Copies of this chain bind each other. A is one copy, B any other.
Amino acid sequence: MSRECVAAPSSRLGDLLSKAYNPNKPHITDTPITKSNWYKHVNWLNVSLIIGMPLSGCIMAFWVPLRWQTALFAVLYYFATGLGITAGHHRLWAHKSYNAGTPLKVFFAFVAGGAVEGSIRWWSRDHRAHHRYTDTDKDPYSVRKGLLYSHIGWMVMKQNPKRIGRVDITDLNDDKVVVWQHRHYLKVVIFAGLIFPTLFAGLWGDMLGGYVYAGILRIFFVQQATFCVNSLAHWLGDQPFDDRNSPRDHVLTALVTLGEGYHNFHHEFPSDYRNAIEWWQYDPTKWFIWTMKKLGLAYDLKQFRSNEIEKGRVQQLQKKLDQKRATLDWGVPLDQLPVIEWDDFVDQCENGRCLVAVAGVVHDVTDFINDHPGGKAMIRSGLGKDATAMFNGGVYNHSNAAHNLLSTMRVGVIRGGMEVEIWKRAQRENKDVQYVKD
């Protein structure tokens, strides 16, 4: 890999949400947390953005009445800023699952700023590392470190930038909108996150309500919802495509995250612009991207062929089935059975053992005679004989279940398999034919 392809977590553009990083000084995460230094481990900027601000919003809400126009606008702006993250940060920039013209990019850069979850550049870099190193120590929000860690812990506590896996972000450094947003991130956040909703609600004379509800509390809800992609989506639901890692599919996560809840699919097919592939699944981010395409604002929507998707599903089902199969008793494998001479088999039956030979295998049916659904007489008529034909349609064409049951009764294999009867007849008819006993 050539050097310029790779961005270290902290790059020349600097990181807004973490202090400039000097690789020569030991990082705070290298020292254990103690009573006296714990506050140095906390990322106080993030704490104030993720916990402090919403708290202040909750308190203000006691005094600021909620007007219906403001409520409606807050919900709409919630969706817009949420889509900034899911359709913008995530599916456009982190995964390049489609392409967008500058107007849509600028829109995303603005509304995604209003969601207050870090710049496109910072977010996408971490997210690419998350995909590339899922569940490992290089995964910035590995769920293996606990559900709470993957939800907000990784932001609340300072992280050693060296730990996060390295990924290629040359494409992002070449994207003017990304670079511009990263450079002016604080201004974008304050304007799109707080000033814009405040001013907008002023249209119906409710600037304070706009600030509290469409600003602060809306930020809180968008943040918590999208954080669920890192926590809930790696913890709750099914794994139809791959169960080696943590990502899971669940409709509840999808409902909370604007459609990002089909996360097992997404980790397996990250460059697909869809997260939900069925029309009846909830994926408004997909619907939005699709609409943008119809409007000419997005293009090159990438999609894995359904053949590839179904192959993944078949392989995972096969794996599950093999695991299930291994827990069941399929009878002693043929190669672990003792070899019995045909005459010994007949002798043992004459001495009272209840043995039946079917397809070259000797079965002990002692415990089954009374339970035989076809009656005692029927099964008795096969004792000490080659019952292959009787069992397979000669008398009754036994079900698959009967064949399975039979295999659990195996006690030996006849030397020479079921050809033994033919050998014997041949012997009787032509005394010259010999077979070797070893």
Which chain A residues have a beta carbon within 8 Å of chain B's beta carbons? Answer: 1-2, 5, 95-96, 132, 168, 171, 241-242, 267-271, 302, 304, 307-308, 310-312, 314-315, 317-318, 321, 324-325, 328-330, 371, 373-375, 377-378, 395-396, 399-401, 404-405, 408
Output the nearest chain B residue to A397 by Cβ-Cβ distance. Answer: B132
Which residues from chain B contact A132 at a C-beta distance below 8 Å? 396
- Do the beta carbons of A399 and B242 come within 8 Å of each other? yes
Please measure, in the bound complex, the distance between the C-alpha atom of A307 and the C-alpha atom of B330, giving whole angstroms. Answer: 9
Tell whether A268 pairs with B400 under 8 Å between CB atoms, given A307-B328, A371-B302.
yes
Which residues from chain B contact A317 at a C-beta distance below 8 Å? 317, 321
- Do the beta carbons of A314 and B328 come within 8 Å of each other? yes
Which residues from chain B contact A375 at a C-beta distance below 8 Å? 5, 168, 171
Please measure, in the bound complex, the distance between the C-alpha atom of A395 and the C-alpha atom of B167, giving whole angstroms. Answer: 11
A423 to chain B, nearest CB (A): 28
Please measure, in the bound complex, the distance between the C-alpha atom of A395 and the C-alpha atom of B375, giving whole angstroms. Answer: 66
Which residues from chain B contact A405 at a C-beta distance below 8 Å? 308
A243 to chain B, nearest CB (A): 11
- Do the beta carbons of B401 and A312 come within 8 Å of each other? yes
Please measure, in the bound complex, the distance between the C-alpha atom of A395 and the C-alpha atom of B6, giving whole angstroms. Answer: 13
- Do the beta carbons of B324 and A307 come within 8 Å of each other? no
- Do the beta carbons of B268 and A308 come within 8 Å of each other? no
A342 to chain B, nearest CB (A): 25
Which residues from chain B contact A5 at a C-beta distance below 8 Å? 375, 377
Which residues from chain B contact A315 at a C-beta distance below 8 Å? 400, 404
Which residues from chain B contact A302 at a C-beta distance below 8 Å? 371
